[in-house]
């Protein structure tokens, strides 16, 4: 696969991770409402799945390349992480540590209170949001090197808005 095609695939995969993160944030806004109370078992499982997938999906983009294996779709395949994300390295390390702990302790207890779990690993909810903003900024600045002409900021914003609209449509009117 050429680097141009790989970069486009990276952007698409990252957009999926971003949409899951946005959906997770929206779902948490409904946790105290009547819809949550009525369907608590479904919501609790949905939230843990979204939270876990959001962390695991984001962390893999920051994994290093292993010269002995096939190149992986990660930022390190395209540019130097320490240069592009120098102000976010602590957050990246925390996200990866969370991912590693989620994999090692694949039970609901480790992820059932995700906010406490993130805090325990030195993360605040806005840290991940800020990291996504930086990722989009870096991808936007590098896209020309990989023959990508899409407006990536608009693409990610449109993805966020689509998730928001579909989530609102998903919640029955009597629970809104």
Q: Taking a C-beta distance cutoff of 8 angstroms, is the pair 47, 32 a contact?
A: no
Share of the chain above pLDDT 70, in %: 94
Task: State the pLDDT confidence band at 36, using cuts at 50, 70 and 90.
Answer: confident
pLDDT of 112 > 60? The answer is no
pLDDT confidence of residue 133? 96
The helix/strand/coil state of 54 is helix
Q: Please, what is the end-to-end C-alpha distance for the chain in angstroms? A: 46
**57-100 pLDDT tens trace:** 899 999 988 777 777 789 998 999 899 999 999 999 999 988 88
Q: What is the DSSP string of 115-169?
A: HHHHHHTT--HHHHHHHHHHHHHHHHHHGGGGT--S-HHHHHHHHHHHHHHHHHH
Q: From its phi and psi, is residue 172 left (phi > 0), alpha (psi between -120 and 50) or beta?
A: beta
Query: How far, in Å, CA of 143 to CA of 151, rounded?
Result: 9
């Amino acid at each position: 696969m050429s680097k141009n095609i790989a970069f486009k695939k990276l952007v698409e995969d990252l957009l999926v991770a971003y949409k899951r993160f946005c959906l997770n944030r929206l779902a948490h806004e409904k946790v105290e409402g009547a819809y949550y109370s009525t369907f608590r078992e479904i919501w609790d499982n949905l939230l843990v799945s979204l939270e876990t997938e959001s962390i695991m999906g984001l962390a893999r983009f920051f994994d290093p390349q292993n010269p002995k294996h096939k190149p992986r779709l990660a930022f390190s395949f395209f540019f130097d992480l320490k240069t592009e994300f120098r102000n976010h390295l602590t957050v990246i390390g925390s996200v990866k540590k969370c991912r590693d702990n989620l994999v090692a302790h694949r039970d609901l207890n480790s992820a059932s209170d995700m906010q406490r779990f993130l805090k325990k690993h030195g993360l605040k909810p806005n840290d991940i949001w800020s990291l996504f903003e930086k990722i989009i900024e870096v991808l936007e600045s590098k896209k020309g090197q990989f023959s990508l002409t899409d407006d990536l900021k608009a693409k990610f914003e449109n993805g966020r808005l689509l998730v928001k609209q579909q989530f609102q449509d998903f919640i029955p009117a009597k629970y809104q």
